[in-house]
Amino acid sequence: MSKKELNIFKLLSQKPWEASQAAIDNEHDGKTLASSKARLGLRTIMVVSTVIFSLFVVSYSDRMLVHDWVSLSEPWLLWINTAILILTSLVFHMAKIYSEKNNFDKSKNALFLVGFLSFAFLTGQLLVWQHFVSIGQYASTNPANAFFYLFTALHGLHLLGGLFFWGKTTQKLFTSNFNITKTKQAIELCAIYWHFLLIVWFILFGLMIST
Amino acid sequence: MNMDDEYNNKIETKAADSSSGSYAPPVEKIPAKENAEQDLYHAKSFWTKWVFCQDAKVIGVQYALTATAIGMIGLILSWGMRLQLGFPETFSFLGPATYYQSVTMHGMIMVIYLLTALFLGGFGNYLIPLMVGARDMVFPYVNMVSFWMFLVAVLVLLASFFVPGGPTGAGWTLYPPQAILPGTPGSEMGIVLMLVSLSLFVIGFTMGGLNYVITILQSRTRGMTLMRMPLTIWGIFTATILALLAFPALLVACIMMTLDNLLGTSFFMPEIFTMGEQLGTSGGSPILFQHLFWFFGHPEVYIVALPAFGIVSDLISVHARKNVFGYRMMVWAIVIIGALSFIVWAHHMYVSGMNPWFGFFFATTTLIIAVPTAIKVYNWVLTLWRGNIHLTIPMLFSLGFIVTFVNGGITGLFLGNVIIDVPLSDTYFVVAHFHMVMGIAPLMVVFGAIYHWYPLITGRHLNQTLGKIHFWITFVGAYAIYFPMHYLGFIGVPRRYFEMYDSPYMTSGVGLNQFITVAALIVGFTQILFLYNLFTSWYKGEKSERNPWKANSLEWHTSDFPPTHGNFGKELPVVYRWPYDFSVPGSDKEYIPQDVPSSQVPTAKAERT
């Protein structure tokens, strides 16, 4: 299937009553975009998540200007967690490349590593929470703390949601005669989502360390 | 560009094929089926067929019934408010707390749990797959989960009526800090349940919205280009995109307010003394909440209005036997209104105080949005012009919609100006305005649409006599309620007040308030008559023939009537035209359904739109 491009202006200015356009329209196969529905579903989810995180970032920037703002000092553990998350994305990329080469055994191992690293990241985040609680930095202590807990919690929830689909994908590799095209796509889409969450984390973490 | 190239290539290859063959019949080429047949889940038991159902039609009906049930509670709450306003100090069950709780729950239920759920969840689910020629939504399972999330959201909302302190009475806008401070009704548990319920609604809606958008974009049948879709689908499509982008703002606001309430953070909470004691909060901005809320709240108006615009265009066209005047312009108007709706939100906040240039900007954008809206109104009127108007009940409701929408729209033009809004903002003028434009007007379309599509859903007609009674009382009654309310606003009666006591505003307002209350009770009871009609006609109504309104769109041309699981028969229909070919010049047929190729109607002329 060749690539279809959605040019909204061109599309809206079509003249369906003209015979030449009608001939083209009669040939239309009913799809607007060339992507699969799963890929579009993921994209829609990422757009909605982006809106959510952007609004939080806007709220953060607005709240930050008030005099009572006291920045948090980031513990070194947070840098380790960030490194783990980068590593997870890299491994997921490997898993995708292996699956594209039909090397599903290696892909399976990489996926396991992704799961392990993702849970390690979440545990790490919980340890950071525990660290802050132990030194008396609660969510109510300062708005900067509140945003920190909020951002990490939301990012973690997004990751948990991703892990649900990671589980479904990994499970597929264990069934005999799984659908190769679908599994490849599932691995690719999960990888995209992990990269997306990495970028979200960079933005949130960057915002928190720079202010 | 790419798209055209591809089509040209395709046509060329097809032409080459037919020339090489020995015989090329002069019929339309049916394009190759590139959409693989969808694997449908086939329900086996009662539970999977009617309860945990993955068929979009059943999910649509489930959405509609749930929304109607919670909407009836919203209606009853409005009676409580009207009784208090019309006859203060008469009813012992109405105190200030009950009054504010009624106001809050009425507003929230009607806007979100009734209208949004009904238009997008109800009509969206039922009509999208049928009208675009798909077997079902693209993700039927997610679609089912979407309904169950909605149901849980409704149940959580209902639960707030039974917790200590009752439901929240903060006003439907839930402005902090008062929403979560002691003294506001329901500040204990009610507000938390409200925020949780809204969050669940947003999550559930996102799942549904995903389905609506991708089904419309990717799962249409062959020949169904975007510019051949019924305007109903355009309205629902654009509204869903708005909802996907606007509801996150509500979710963000809900999450932060929940934390302010439960954990004592100060996202929105400034430094506050309450009952002689200082709360632990400081520095938060209540205005930030207002921005987030209205960044959702204004698109929400169009989330309700755009499907109504789309549906009413179809109803008018079918029942006036005439094509929609300016179809392309209608589509453009829908898209432009959708885009503009994201840059007008602060006109809800003029009285919160803002930089004059900020107010100037938002007043300007607000007035600009009147242009595409006015275009739509002109086009509806021009569609009716010299049409063969059948005064069926859907048509009556459509006409009622046009009048009411113009009415509410014009008061909106007044209120869009800062200088007029400031004195009127806290009066009944605003109440009258928004009920006309986003309460009565969309409801007119809902009713019209139900009378129109009820035969498709059940195979039976609703009782016509009851329907006419329902229309006339609702229509006249709505004006009896809201016209006097404009006047109350002019003489300065403030809204949100529990009781006016002997205030000088009210000397001429008392009788009017009593009149409005009586009208509201009558209109309310008429809706119960409508529900009676809805339920009895299900098994006793007059049997409908196939396609009773002689409409062109695909939902009336399914192989089974009413449509069954999978929607269409063995083959999906192929579309050759737009759905508005009524009384086409040169054709001997009165109407030409969308799936009729032009070889069958050789004399019909194509109409410019």
- Asked if A30 and B220 come within 8 Å (Cβ–Cβ), the reply is yes
Q: Nearest chain A Cα to B256, which residue?
A: A150
Buried b (16+ CB within 10 A) or exposed e, A183-198: bbbbbbbbbbbbebbb
Q: Is the peptide bond before B562 cis (omega within 30 degrees of 0)?
A: yes
- Ramachandran region of residue B55, left (φ > 0), alpha (ψ -120 to 50) or beta? beta
- Cα(B356)–Cα(B149) distance, integer angstroms: 42
Q: Span B585-593, mean pLDDT?
A: 89
Give the start-to-end residue ranges of the domains of chain A. Answer: 37-210
Looking at the complex, report in whole angstroms how far the Cα of residue A106 sits from the nearest Cα belonging to chain B: 31
DSSP for A66-124 reads STT--PPPPPHHHHHHHHHHHHHHHHHHHHHHHHHTT-HHHHHHHHHHHHHHHHHHHHH
| A44 in Cβ contact with B214 (< 8 Å) | yes
Split at pLDDT 50, 70, 90, the class of B18 is very low
Distance separating alpha carbons of residues B107 and B120, to the nearest angstrom: 18
Name the residue among B305, B405, B294 with its Cα closest to residue B351.
B294
Question: pLDDT value at position A3?
Answer: 44
Q: Which of A159, A153, A170, A164 is nearest to A194 (CA)?
A: A159
Answer yes or no: is pLDDT of A5 > 70. no
Average pLDDT over residues B553-573: 91
Which helix (H) or strand (E) covers residue B277, if one does?
Answer: strand B277-278
List phi, psi (to 5°) of B274: -135, 130
What per-residue confidence (pLDDT) applies to A1?
A: 36
- Euclidean distance between the first and the last CA atom of chain A, given in angstroms as a whole number: 48
Q: Does B227 touch chain A (CB under 8 A)?
A: yes
- In the structure, what pLDDT confidence band is assigned to residue A123 with cuts at 50, 70 and 90? very high
CA distance B206 to B390: 39
pLDDT at residue B604 in the model: 83
- Write out the DSSP string of B432-446: HHHHIIIIIHHHHHH
**Pick from A134, A41, A80, A106: nearest CA to B139:** A41
Kindly tell me if the per-residue pLDDT of B4 is higher than 80. Answer: no
What percentage of chain B reaches a pLDDT higher than 70? 94
CA distance A76 to chain B (A): 25
Nearest-10 Cα torsion for B352, B356, B361, B363: 60
Q: What is the pLDDT of residue B32?
A: 56
Query: Which among B397, B391, B453, B387 has a CA at the least distance from the CA of B590?
Result: B387
Report pLDDT for B25.
43
> Does the A37-210 domain belong in CATH 1.20.120.80?
yes
Using CB atoms, which residue from A14, A26, A27 is nearest to B227? Answer: A14
Least confident range from B45-49, B133-137, B204-208, B316-320: namely: B45-49
**Span A142-200, pLDDT tens digits:** 899 999 999 999 999 999 999 999 999 999 888 888 888 899 999 999 999 999 999 99
Q: Contact at 8 Å (CB) between B98 and B80?
A: yes
Q: Is the pLDDT of residue B14 over 80?
A: no
Q: Do B167 and B103 meet the contact criterion of CB atoms below 8 Å apart?
A: no
Q: Are B400 and B472 in contact, with CB atoms under 8 Å apart?
A: no
Q: Average model confidence (pLDDT) for chain B?
A: 90
Write out residues 244-263 of B within 8 Å (CB-CB) of A.
244-245, 248-249, 251-252, 255-256, 259, 263
The HSE-up count of residue B563 (CA atoms within 13 Å, CB side) is 30
pLDDT tops 50 at residue A132: yes
What pLDDT digit, counting tens, does each position of B150-171 carry? 999 999 999 999 999 999 999 9
**In which band, very low, low, confident or very high, does the pLDDT at B11 lie, cut at 50, 70 and 90?**
very low
Top mean pLDDT of A129-138, A190-199, B584-593 is at A190-199
- B332 touches A at CB < 8 Å: yes
CB of A117 closer than 8 Å to CB of A95? no
> Alpha-carbon distance B50 to B16, whole Å?
50
Residue A52: list chain B partners with CB under 8 A.
248, 251-252
Give the Cα separation of B352 and B184 in Å (integer): 20
Q: Using the 8-state DSSP alphabet, how is residue B427 labeled?
A: B
Tell me the chain B residues in contact with residue A28 when contact means C-beta distances shorter than 8 Å. Answer: 7, 31, 222-225
Question: Would you say B176 and B292 are in contact if contact means Cβ atoms under 8 Å apart?
Answer: no
Whether residue B259 and residue A139 make contact (CB cut-off 8 A), yes or no, is yes
Highest mean pLDDT among B11-25, B32-46, B173-187, B446-460: B446-460
Backbone angles phi, psi at B543, to 5 degrees: -65, 135
When pLDDT is averaged across residues B346-353 and rounded to a whole number, the result is 92
pLDDT tens digits, residue range B519-557? 999 999 999 999 999 999 999 999 999 999 999 999 999
At residue B453 the predicted structure's pLDDT band, cuts being 50, 70 and 90, is very high
How far is residue A132's CA from residue A124's CA, in Å, rounded to a whole number? 13
| DSSP-based three-state secondary structure for B373 | helix
Q: Do B133 and A30 touch (CB under 8 A)?
A: yes
Cβ–Cβ < 8 Å for A130, A124: no
Assess whether pLDDT exceeds 50 at residue A24.
yes
**pLDDT of res. A6:** 63
Test the B interface: residue of A8, A25, A154 with most B CBs within 10 Å: A25
Q: What is the DSSP string of B583-608?
A: S-TT-SSSB--TT--TTTSTTPPPPP
The secondary structure element, H or E, covering residue B221 is none
Task: Decide: B383 and B322 in contact? Cβ < 8 Å.
Answer: yes
Token pair listed for B24: 């090329």
Q: Looking at the DSSP assignment, which residues form a beta bridge with residue B49? A: none
- Which of B8, B34, B213, B252 is best to mutate for the A interface (most A CBs within 10 A)? B252
**pLDDT score, position B21:** 39
Q: How far apart are CA A3 and CA A33, in angstroms?
A: 8
| SS3 per residue for B294-326 | HHHHHHHHHHHHHHHHHHHHHHHHHHCCCCCCC
Choose the mutation target among A5, A21, A29, A60 for the interface with B, i.e. most B CBs under 10 Å: A29
CA dist A191 and A163 (Å) reads 11
Give chain A's mean pLDDT. Answer: 91
Residue A139 Cα distances to A29, A73, A151, B281, angstroms: 54, 14, 12, 12
CA distance B347 to B369: 12
CB-CB under 8 Å, B283 with A66: yes
pTM (2 decimals)? 0.92
Mean pLDDT of A46-68: 94
Q: CA–CA separation, B183 vs B88, rounded Å?
A: 22
Are B145 and B476 in contact by the 8 Å Cβ rule? The answer is no
- Nearest-angstrom CA–CA distance, B555 and B562: 9
**C-alpha to C-alpha distances, B157 to B106, B186, B373, nearest whole angstrom:** 12, 12, 34
**Is the pLDDT reported for residue B585 higher than 90?**
no
Task: Tell me the C-alpha to C-alpha distance, in Å, between residue B132 and each of A31, A40, B57, B206, B367.
Answer: 11, 18, 14, 21, 34
CB contact under 8 Å between B34 and A14, yes or no, is no
Cis previous bond, B167, omega within 30:
no
Flag whether residue B545 sits within 8 Å of chain A, measured between CB atoms: no
DSSP B188-218: TTHHHHHHHHHHHHHHHHHHHHHHHHHHHHH
Q: Give the nearest chain A residue to B28 (CA atoms).
A: A26
C-alpha B277: how far from chain center: 45
Q: Which helix (H) or strand (E) holds B67?
A: helix B56-86
Token couple for B5: 């190239």
ipTM score of complex: 0.94
Residue B77 carries which DSSP code?
Answer: H
> In the prediction, which pLDDT does B45 show?
83
Asked whether A208 and A151 are in contact (CB, 8 A), the reply is yes
Tens digits of residue pLDDT in B265-295 = 999 999 888 778 888 788 889 999 999 999 9
How many contacts does A have with B, using Cβ atoms within 8 A?
Answer: 177
Residue A44 contacts residue A119 (beta carbons within 8 Å): no
- When scoring A140, A158, A182, A185 by the number of chain B Cβ atoms within 10 A, the one with the most, hence best to mutate, is A140
Is a pLDDT exceeding 90 seen at residue B441?
Answer: yes
Cα–Cα dist A78/A179, whole Å = 39
Output the six-digit token pair for B278.
Answer: 């200082």
Q: What is the pLDDT of residues B75-125, one digit of tens each?
A: 999 999 999 999 988 888 888 999 999 999 999 999 999 999 999 999 999
